[in-house]
Amino acid sequence: MSRKICVVTGSRADYGLLRWVMQGIKDDPELNLQVIVTGMHLSPTFGLTYKVIEEDGFRIDAKVEILGSSDFPTAIAESMALALTGSAKAFSELNPDLVVVLGDRFEIFAATAAALVAKIPVAHLHGGETTIGAFDEALRHSITKMSHLHFVATQEYRDRVLQLGENPKNVYLVGGLGIDSIKNLPLLSRKELETQLGIEFGTKSLLITFHPVTLDAESPEQQMKELLAALSHLHDTTLIFTMPNADTGGRVLIKMIKEFVGRNKNAKAFTSLGQLKYLSSISHIDGVVGNSSSGLTEVPTFKKGTINVGVRQLGRPQATSVINCEPIEKDIRRAIEKLYSPDFKLNLAVAKNPYGEGGASARVVKALKDASLEGIVKKTFHDL
């Protein structure tokens, strides 16, 4: 009997990383892929990105609606409650042998908790990482403690999962999953991309993604104000925005971006570019600006610069292609100047991505197929 593996995805970001794991499961005759979509995938505000999953040839087995029209803390907590009950119902109907989750978002935390009480083994991808500026940090490590198989991107992250008391034989060092999309997707040419996006890149261009920093003392709104002030001086630069996540304060940032784009002809915003257009954009722009993990985990593979704004990604391994700066206008402007400096451009050619060279998805699929699940839900704390 084939092993039923249920993948839970809640956003464009985690689907982009899960895409080739899902394909590997689907293509393996000994495995049976099940897909649950939730979170931003089902929200018109965030682009109804579940359609992208279907366009990629995957059947969606369950949809768990959780997002309302607000992103205040009470609304996020209510979304977590809906994700918990909705995931529990879906697991009951699908009866998977193994649940696969990725990352640190609140809906993934809730789905993992539902699997825990249903005694379904969980495989967690991209654990052991740190994002000090967001409550995702605590959620990620909590997901690790509720999971049974662990797939990590670097040795540092493996050490951290072991520090959390996980059994070494169940912690796999596979590398970063995002690199597989870069290797596997035939990226669009500059002209094809300009046609699809309805823009012209011009001589200079930047891709901007800035998410709410949920634990920082400074409000996300104030940080976005500083970022937009720095970008407002770049009249000769095409500015491509991708919208923030559905985190606390995210909708305010979306409103600010739309207002900025309305005032600046050189700026354009997209609810969701999708993996192909997003990665193609990185291949053609000068660099990325913001606080997305992609700037650290994927962009270095393109030999492009990343301006990492603020503390959201503090604690992650970084390539020499990453420029860190405070979420303050003058610091961001200084970082942009460095991005375009001859010395920095020279350094890009030798920058190495600390998340590996690709192949992580195939390693994950092999382990999902081969790992023994006998008695795995009864965990013991592995002392160092």
What pLDDT score does 217 carry?
Answer: 65
What pLDDT score does 135 carry?
Answer: 72
Ramachandran assignment for 88, one of left (phi > 0), alpha (psi -120 to 50 degrees), beta (any other) = alpha
Q: What is the pTM of this model?
A: 0.85
Beta bridge partners of 287: 206, 305
What pLDDT score does 134 carry?
Answer: 64
What burial class does residue 48 get, using C-beta atoms within 10 Å of its C-beta: 0-12 exposed, 13-18 middle, 19+ buried?
A: middle
What pLDDT score does 215 carry?
Answer: 63
What is the gyration radius of the CA atoms in the chain, in angstroms? Answer: 20
The span from the CA of 38 to the CA of 62, in Å, is 9
DSSP label of 188: P
What pLDDT score does 314 carry?
Answer: 82
What pLDDT score does 131 carry?
Answer: 75
The span from the CA of 172 to the CA of 384, in Å, is 17
Beta bridge partners of 37: 9, 63
301-356: pLDDT as tens digits: 999 999 999 988 887 899 999 999 999 999 999 999 999 999 999 999 999 999 99
| Tokens 């990492």 -> residue | 308
The span from the CA of 202 to the CA of 266, in Å, is 9
| Segments in the chain below pLDDT 50 | none
Q: Where are the beta strands (DSSP E) in the chain?
A: 3-9, 31-38, 62-64, 98-102, 122-125, 149-152, 171-173, 204-209, 237-242, 267-270, 287-290, 305-309, 322-325
109-153: pLDDT as tens digits: 999 999 999 999 999 999 999 876 567 789 999 999 999 999 999
Torsion angle of alpha carbons 287, 293, 299, 301, nearest 10°?
A: 160
Q: Which two tokens stand for residue 63?
A: 């949809």
Type of residue numbered 56? D
The span from the CA of 289 to the CA of 44, in Å, is 25
